Amino acid sequence: MSKLMKIVKRIFLLVLLLLVVGLGYLGVKIRQNVQQVVTYETEVEQAVKANNIPEYKNLVLAIIYTESKGRSEDLMQSSESAYGKRQMIGTSKESIDTGVSFLAQSIKKADEAGCDIWTAVQAYNFGLDYIDFVKGRGGENSIRLAEEYSKEVLSPLLGNTDQKTYRYYRPQAVIYNGGFLYSNGGNMFYADLVKMNQQFIKWLK
């Protein structure tokens, strides 16, 4: 074996080792996050029953994972839907009660509009008007529709009339558009993130 081939082999093995270590670390962090989130399972179970959506307990846990990984008082980032601005909620119970109530509204409206559950989940991030937008375009959420709404409706409504973007390096974003979101346009990958995190909850809870 030539000296060059030995060097190439060593580099390959080093990269492989780093990849294995990195994936192992990521797996440990994901498991830790899931275990943190499920400490709120009892409160979530009570809230989903009170709002007549008991079958969506794991979905709510996945939203908590997506929003805060269970490491904030405002677990579901419910402050804006309740008060119109951030950091107004100071207890986990209020956050869960408010967030689950809003999700229940979104699910009910999506169901009445003939839209899928992921439209309701994306509307948790975008607002309920997104459901009407999807209803008129087939009734099924997709990243393409979410991008159109973010770019053409939500971000201009909130002041981004120049379609400014910022970097966002989640795998879903990198694969789809190289990794960016529209400023003031919410997160067009939100439903996909929640869907992925729901699988983590299912596997690791």
Which pLDDT belongs to residue 24? Answer: 66
What average pLDDT does the segment 9-16 reach?
A: 72
CATH number of the domain to which 196 belongs: 1.10.530.10
Interval 103-113 mean pLDDT = 98
pLDDT of 165 above 70:
yes
Answer yes or no: is 182 within a domain.
no
| Confidence check: pLDDT of 18 > 80 | no
Q: What is residue 15's predicted lDDT score, i.e. its pLDDT?
A: 72
Residue 149 lies in a domain: no
DSSP character string of the chain: --HHHHHHHHHHHHHHHHHHHHHHHHHHHHHHHHHHHGGGHHHHHHHHHHTT-GGGHHHHHHHHHHHTTT-SSSTT--HHHHHSSSS----HHHHHHHHHHHHHHHHHHHHHHT--HHHHHHHHHH-THHHHHHHTTTS---HHHHHHHIIIIIHHHTT-TT--EEE---HHHHHHHSSEEETTS--TTHHHHHHHHHHHHHHH-
Question: In the prediction, which pLDDT does 81 show?
Answer: 74
**pLDDT at residue number 79:** 85
Residue 122 included in any domain: yes
Q: Which domain holds residue 85?
A: 3-139+190-204
Q: Is residue 183 part of a domain?
A: no
Looking at the domain assignment, is residue 157 inside a domain? Answer: no
Q: Is the pLDDT of residue 25 over 70?
A: no
Q: How many domains does the chain have?
A: 1
In a domain, 124, yes or no: yes
